[in-house]
Amino acid sequence: MPSSSSPNAVQCPALFIAAPHSGCGKTTITAAIARAYRQQGKIVRVFKTGPDYLDPQILRLASGEPVEQLDMWMAGEAYCQQMLFHAAQEADLILIEGVMGLFDGTPSSADLAERFAIPLALVMDVKGMAQTAGAMAVGLANYRPALQFAGLIANGCASERHRELIEEALPDNIPILATLAQDEQITLPERHLGLVQAEEMTTELESRINAGADLLKAQPILELPEAVNFYPTESLNTSAALSEKPLRGKTIAVAKDAAFSFIYDSNLRLLQQLGADYRFFSPLKDSELPEADALWLPGGYPELHAETLSGNTRLIAQIRHFHQSGKPILAECGGFLYCLDTLTELEENTYPMLGLIAGDGAMRGKRGCQGMQTAPLPEGDIRGHAHHKSLSENTPEPITHGRRQRHPAPGEPIYRDRGLTATYLHLFFGSNPDAVAALFSQHT
């Protein structure tokens, strides 16, 4: 179990799983590592770099523990530090899955790993190359000398001879931690926004994760890495709302099912810290809206369930009445599409939706929008991100637009009607608890 090297620090073995680019198998391998250690009876806490709803579902299933997002822009450095410190107090191993390529983004996976001195395991898809894989690993390892490299995980390694050729090209300080052959039995299924949700195929995912863990047995990756010092922070949770609990006594109804599932656990936790209770309901199955003071319609896959959503006319009538009452409603991405007049799904069938905002939503194939943005709401700035492959048309004039992290062009439009705030943006509540408290308190 973790030990302490000083009155303030907690030590825990930790490993950062990174890659040269997306599609190398980071999530598959991180899940396999987590499951393999869990099978040894160890407590594994997994984190996902950046804003991501789908990968954490897989990693939570693999580890059996909560999975949090770490992003030094969206959540803040102090938040990331505190999450790691708390995890180190209970875990035998901390795993962090990176995002995109190792140096992509600002801040990048490399920035996060360097800031907290976490050694990197580089996942590379080595199909179609041998010594070149070694050269690429050496280049990435030496690009920023402050980074600590634990070694290479060679994904798609065809044979023992293939491994030997790669190993011959590597210096002694970059060992091969594991090799995995291409195997459809461990590949995680995908769709247009990323991996398929864990709850849609739990049994099959369990089989794939276990198969991945089996492939790692007796490989060096299952030797615990060196312990890392994790420190608490004194600069977190300074907002007035967290101490005053302005949402005390309020209940927030949260849509949660196969159509609406893009929910950060940390967002729910913050609502509780602000004093609120929350109740889940299913727009797909429930005909009654829970008794609530506010409503949250998060993102998800309404386009895959448009016909069912449209057919739940009793619930639609109740949500419309809730909107007419002026109570607070937050609708994000898929929740925003649900609020429009119509939604045209992937097969180009069009269905009526809630009609809380004039406009029509439609899927648009491979084209989409993604990136970090700030929502400059009247209640205050809340950071978040956009990630969608749909468009909205015939909508009213927005009250404002998202502010992009690194580009001057206007970001996603943000709409307000009565107590409804609707946008493509997914908000990270912890970036401004005071604004979130005000957002769920406002009543017109």
Among 80, 333, 339, 369, which one carries the catalytic annotation? 333
pTM summary value: 0.90
**Residue in 199, 171, 207 with CA at minimum distance from that of residue 280:** 199
Claim to verify: residue 111 and residue 245 sit in the same structural domain: no
Claim to verify: residue 260 and residue 408 sit in the same structural domain: yes
Count of structural domains within the chain: 2
Look at residue 200 in the predicted model and tell me its pLDDT. Answer: 60
Helix (H) or strand (E) holding 355: none
Claim to verify: residue 417 and residue 382 sit in the same structural domain: yes
Look at residue 442 in the predicted model and tell me its pLDDT. Answer: 76
Output the domain CATH number for residue 145.
3.40.50.300
**Rounded distance, CA 5 to CA 11, Å?**
7
Claim to verify: residue 80 and residue 201 sit in the same structural domain: yes
Look at residue 191 in the predicted model and tell me its pLDDT. Answer: 43
Mean pLDDT by 10 residues, the chain (444 residues): 66 98 93 97 96 89 94 93 96 97 95 97 96 96 95 94 96 95 67 54 84 93 95 75 91 97 94 97 97 97 96 98 98 98 94 98 75 96 93 96 92 96 97 96 78
Claim to verify: residue 360 and residue 414 sit in the same structural domain: yes
Claim to verify: residue 296 and residue 432 sit in the same structural domain: yes
| Residue 24 annotated among the catalytic residues of the structure | no
Instruction: Render pLDDT for 392-430 as a digit per residue (tens, 0 to 9).
Output: 999 999 999 999 998 889 999 999 999 999 999 999 999
Look at residue 346 in the predicted model and tell me its pLDDT. Answer: 87
* 4 is a domain residue: no
Q: What is the CA radius of gyration of the chain?
A: 23
Domain boundary among 203, 230, 257: 230
Distances (CA, A) of 23 to 124, 256, 361: 9, 28, 29
Expressed as residue numbers, the domain containing 140 is: 10-230
- Number of H-type helices and E-type strands within the chain: 13, 26
Ordered alpha helix ranges (H), 10-68: 26-39, 54-63
Look at residue 230 in the predicted model and tell me its pLDDT. Answer: 97
- Burial-class residue 229 by CB neighbours within 10 Å (0-12, 13-18, 19+): middle
* 81 is a domain residue: yes
Look at residue 430 in the predicted model and tell me its pLDDT. Answer: 94
Claim to verify: residue 97 and residue 220 sit in the same structural domain: yes
Domain boundary among 181, 196, 230: 230
With a CB cutoff of 8 Å and minimum separation 6, the contacts of 416 are 399, 422
